[in-house]
Structure 1
Amino acid sequence: MSPILILSILIIYFGVLIGISRWVSRKDSSNAAFFQANKNSKWYLVAFGMIGTALSGVTFISVPGEVGAPSGEQFKYFQFVIGNALGFIVTATILLPLYYRLNLVSIYEYFEKRLGFYSYKSAASIFLISRTIGSAFRLYLVVIVFQRYVFDYFGIPFAVTGLISLALIYAYTYKSGLKAIIITDTLQTLFLVSSVILTIYFICNTLDYSVIQAFEVVKESNYSKIFFFEDFVSSKFHFVKQILGGMFVTIAMTGLDQDLMQKNLSLVNIKEAQKNMFTFTGIFVVINLFFLGVGALLYIYAENNGISVPLDAITGKPRTDLLFPEIAFNHLTIIPSVIFLLGLIAATFATTDSALTALTTSFCIDFLNMDKPDNREKTNNVRTRKWIHFTFSVIMFGVIILFNAINDASVVSMIFKIASYTYGPLLGLFAFGIIMKKRQVMDKWVPIICIAAPFITLLISNNSSLLFGNYVFDNELIIVNGLITFLLLLSISHTDKRIIL
């Protein structure tokens, strides 16, 4: 597939998204539309569009690639997905009713009402830092793909590729924010889901398999093992670790994250929001199973055609998340290549546009107090919000350039891992607020606890072999992080019978 054709598809694709955004903003570009889509979104559009937000471009290329990773991961990721599903159910049944009862725009306003000013600002700051780093990292990994297969051909440097990517996202989100994203993400999720299903079809066709034959081949292959019960202590793939990790990561990074919750809060009532979450959960589980199936078929296709896993440009080692784009762009016919490209674009930008909008919303509400009665009607609010949106675009671009300058994949991965640790304090804060209803904290100490807990968790993780007899942590480490935060908050708390939230 030629770089010129890929570039042409990118131009057409974003032309459509920008056209949709302009059509939406022509009717309403107010802050109410940007923050909450005027609270009249349709639950079925939100449920479908959230798939594109939840499944980033990294998921799109990494999950299939990990199926045949040297560490023998196979379908173990599906254990994590089952945990995700449990986390979504907890979010729908416990957290969403709380948010709706308090009529929140930013979910971190809960802490202002429950624990105090410093707790509130700490929670919002954790989100801003974590989501900026995480979203920039996801976009960075996909920009590498675009750079390798498109922009290197034209001699365009990496910085310009990253700048173009963020400029395009900014162009269709800065006016109407969430109201536009509800529509554009529905379209992008359609491309993503179609891409996965059609990729399975085209690979099966190339291998001369029917869908049923492909299912049997994958089932009998070395890639299809789902459940891992061996060696609980030293294996990070153990079923219990993956289930617990998946559940609590989802509660923290979805239920306690402004990004996905902002879409839920755009619905008219709690029943619509819960209907959305349950529908989304079912689709999420099925589509991840399809991703794993694609991964197995990709490795079977590669073995049959003598295709090696591409080497990383930095380390020179095989990089499994480049296998999907390598086969799609260089070994399949034009139609599946185009379908893969549309799916990758959709997965990448549906995640980033939503994150950029959530970051803007959180800052405007949590730090500029735009939802307060005395600030709500200020004439310059819309202009200020647009400047905030632009500023976060610039910050995200700077983080992407920093990742590229580090020029070491292992260091970048560690940065992303450490960034995910910061969700542990959010988990602990919310758990304390919800469970310990009759206790109040010494509010000024909360920022220190939110900084200390991830570092204590990191020390425990790095010394787990010494402390716990060769125990190896995986995603369940977030539980430790949240528990440490909870216990530290408990240590600075006192009884207060006035608390009713």
Structure 2
Amino acid sequence: MLTDLFVIVIYFLAIFCIGIYAGRKQNSLTDYALGNRSLPWWAILASILAAEISAATFLGAPGEGYHTRNFTYAQLCIGTILGRIIVGRLFLKPYYDYKVVSIYEYLEKRFGLLTRRTASMVFLISRVLASGTRLYFAGILLVIAYQFLTGVTADADQIVLLYIAALVAISVATTIYTAIGGLKAVVWTDVLQAVVLGVSMLSALWVLFSHIPGGWSSISAAMNGGDDWKFFSWGTGEGLDFLQQGARVLGQEYTVWAAFLGATFITMATHGTDQDMVQRMLAAKNSKAGTRAVIVSGLLDFPIVIIFLFTGILLYVFYQYNPANLPADTPQLHVFPYFIIHELPNGIRGLLIAGLLATAMGSLSTALNSLATTATKDWYQGIFKPEATERQLLRCVRWGTAVFSLLLILVGSITAWYVVHHPEVRIIQIALGIFGYTYGSLLGIFLLGMLTRTRGSDSGNIIAMAAGFFVIALLTELIPLPSGWQQYVPEIAFPWRVTIGTLVTFTVGFCFRKRRLPMR
């Protein structure tokens, strides 16, 4: 374990050195939040990938591969590419033209102050819940490692306490370099984290393949189910049969229809209306560089997801030949971390632990930076202290980073408690599904602003956003339906929530009219 510890210590030293170095010569909120708009597109590309591959993906995607034994989850990458093309061509130029720091400033210029503040608050709440939920994943490997090293079999309450301790440690370390270095620290540490992640996953694949007796022939023999190796799924009824079966296809997660529509709308929302992702694109020298970064990141998503899913498939095959090595009650999400701790050799195990920490810290640092920036620009300066100096804004954004870190730890701890007591939950659907309730409302309003010139009003947008949320809440039974109505409401899988919420919000908002405002 000394070799593993050495690898992890070197990783943390590199992260802190980069964060401290990047924090030099920051004199304004723009320097802190956007790196003075001077970062190269390839570094932004690496940062986008590092933020997307959260600990939820690092553990959840192999878990999906282990559970399904196919690549149907990767279909959603079709929509991520289409969505990023739209974001790059439609969203980024207006943001650059208006020189916004918080993207919700655009909504004030297009509609009014009420729309801006409502959208900003929706983002703050959604991002805290989603990032806090994803933070839980980072603790899984550390908890398993603790039990492995100590030989202690903890009960449910002790496991929750272990999770909380792990989340606090990861969050404190991330908060320090994020608060010191701002977006520059986030981007350049993300570059390192992307490299660590890539090397660690390829190492895991090599070890897995080499530990399966008989190699490829044994893998093929174990994968003999009807849906094994499957790449595409049309959903309920192959081909176009879903037209005869109504909306049942909306209840299925990984289908071609979800890939082309659901995933496209999700990506437009997460990469076009979420300060977390857009903020790093705005750190490029111009909109063309930002567009290049976001589109190329989408092209790279597909092979990355394939690697994660193939890792899960190999895990399934490995434990088919070594069933005694995996406890029978191991949750799906714990299979990969269990393999890392119990099967990998020294050094490579430390590299994989560093890889998980890299994904967790990469997504956490961007969330903290965007949350603090939005709160400072839209609320502290926008409401409480419009005359704030740059020095005061920098102090506020740094303290805001610490406050949001505490909130994310709280949400992550609650998630850990829930999952420990409900191990049957497929948490990747929860982590991705949270956005579905609110991001359709955000995307609908942004599209209304960018695709029209005179439609939408400041007060009408609030009604439209509420309508989008209300419809999704009804369809997912977050708001209970009246007795007997359930039979008339189709089941809605998480990839479709943003699509439906967007269409409802856009349609309702389109019914309101405002005088044309000049657009640059």
TM-score, normalization by structure 2: 0.85
Q: How do residues 374-389 of structure 1 correspond to structure 2 at under 5 angstroms? A: 375=387, 377-389=389-401
Residues 284/416 of structure 1: CA separation in 2 closer, same or farther (3 Å cut): closer
Q: How do residues 55-454 of structure 1 correspond to structure 2 at under 5 angstroms? A: 55-69=53-67, 72=68, 74-150=70-146, 157-207=162-212, 223-231=228-236, 232=242, 233-235=247-249, 236=252, 237-306=254-323, 318-369=330-381, 375=387, 377-406=389-418, 407-408=421-422, 410=425, 417-441=433-457, 443-454=458-469
Could you tell me the percent identity over the aligned residues?
25
Q: Residue 370 of structure 1 contacts residue 381 of structure 1 at CA under 8 Å; is this kept in 2?
A: no
Residue type of the alignment partner of 1:460: L
Residues 5/230 of structure 1: CA separation in 2 closer, same or farther (3 Å cut): same
- For 1:316-357, what per-residue CA distance to the aligned partner results, in whole angstroms no more than 9, with x for missing partners? x65212111111210232243223212211111111111111
**1:209 CA drift (Å):** 6.6
2:496 to 467, 471, 476: 476
Unmatched segments (≥5 aa) in structure 2: 151-157, 237-241
**1:446 CA drift (Å):** 3.6
Residue type of the alignment partner of 1:121: R
Q: Residue 241 of structure 1 contacts residue 474 of structure 1 at CA under 8 Å; is this kept in 2?
A: no
Q: Residue 34 of structure 2 contacts residue 279 of structure 2 at CA under 8 Å; is this kept in 1?
A: yes
Residues 214/140 of structure 1: CA separation in 2 closer, same or farther (3 Å cut): same
Residue type of the alignment partner of 2:34: Q
**1:208 CA drift (Å):** 5.6
**1:218 CA drift (Å):** 9.2
- For 1:150-204, what per-residue CA distance to the aligned partner results, in whole angstroms no more than 9, with x for missing partners? 2785787433222111101111110121011111000000011111222222222
> In structure 1, how many angstroms separate the alpha carbons of the residues matched to 2:449 and 2:212?
55
Q: Residue 309 of structure 1 contacts residue 319 of structure 1 at CA under 8 Å; is this kept in 2?
A: no
Aligned residue for 1:176, secondary structure, equals helix
Aligned residue for 2:403, secondary structure, equals helix
- For 1:75-103, what per-residue CA distance to the aligned partner results, in whole angstroms no more than 9, with x for missing partners? 11111122111111111111112212222
Aligned residue for 1:394, secondary structure, equals helix
My pick for the range that moved more, 351-360 or 373-382, is 373-382
Residue type of the alignment partner of 1:434: M
1:15 counterpart residue number: 13
Residues 472/36 of structure 1: CA separation in 2 closer, same or farther (3 Å cut): closer
Residue type of the alignment partner of 2:173: L
> In structure 1, how many angstroms separate the alpha carbons of the residues matched to 2:374 and 2:24?
24
2:513 to 487, 494, 501: 494
**1:372 CA drift (Å):** 13
**1:411 CA drift (Å):** 10
> In structure 2, how many angstroms separate the alpha carbons of the residues matched to 1:242 and 1:257?
20
> In structure 2, how many angstroms separate the alpha carbons of the residues matched to 1:346 and 1:291?
16
- For 1:242-287, what per-residue CA distance to the aligned partner results, in whole angstroms no more than 9, with x for missing partners? 3311111111112211111111100101121122122212222211
- For 1:433-463, what per-residue CA distance to the aligned partner results, in whole angstroms no more than 9, with x for missing partners? 122212241x235445434422321212347
**1:215 CA drift (Å):** 9.1
> In structure 2, how many angstroms separate the alpha carbons of the residues matched to 1:489 and 1:307?
58
Residue type of the alignment partner of 1:203: L
Q: Residue 441 of structure 2 contacts residue 468 of structure 2 at CA under 8 Å; is this kept in 1?
A: yes
Unmatched segments (≥5 aa) in structure 1: 312-316
Q: Residue 151 of structure 1 contacts residue 157 of structure 1 at CA under 8 Å; is this kept in 2?
A: no
My pick for the range that moved more, 368-377 or 78-87, is 368-377
> In structure 1, how many angstroms separate the alpha carbons of the residues matched to 2:141 and 2:28?
36
1:314 counterpart residue number: none
Residue type of the alignment partner of 1:173: T
Residues 29/171 of structure 1: CA separation in 2 closer, same or farther (3 Å cut): farther
**1:8 CA drift (Å):** 5.6
**1:145 CA drift (Å):** 2.8
Q: Residue 74 of structure 1 contacts residue 223 of structure 1 at CA under 8 Å; is this kept in 2?
A: yes
> In structure 2, how many angstroms separate the alpha carbons of the residues matched to 1:258 and 1:373?
22
Q: CA RMSD in A?
A: 3.1
My pick for the range that moved more, 141-150 or 98-107, is 141-150
2:155 counterpart residue number: none
My pick for the range that moved more, 353-362 or 453-462, is 453-462
Residue type of the alignment partner of 1:331: E
My pick for the range that moved more, 159-168 or 459-468, is 459-468
Residue type of the alignment partner of 1:194: V
- For 1:404-436, what per-residue CA distance to the aligned partner results, in whole angstroms no more than 9, with x for missing partners? 344445497658734531111101111211222
**1:146 CA drift (Å):** 1.4
* Structure 2 residue 482 is the aligned partner of structure 1 residue 466: no
Residues 36/460 of structure 1: CA separation in 2 closer, same or farther (3 Å cut): same
1:457 counterpart residue number: 472
My pick for the range that moved more, 113-122 or 27-36, is 27-36
Q: Residue 122 of structure 1 contacts residue 450 of structure 1 at CA under 8 Å; is this kept in 2?
A: no
Residues 378/341 of structure 1: CA separation in 2 closer, same or farther (3 Å cut): closer
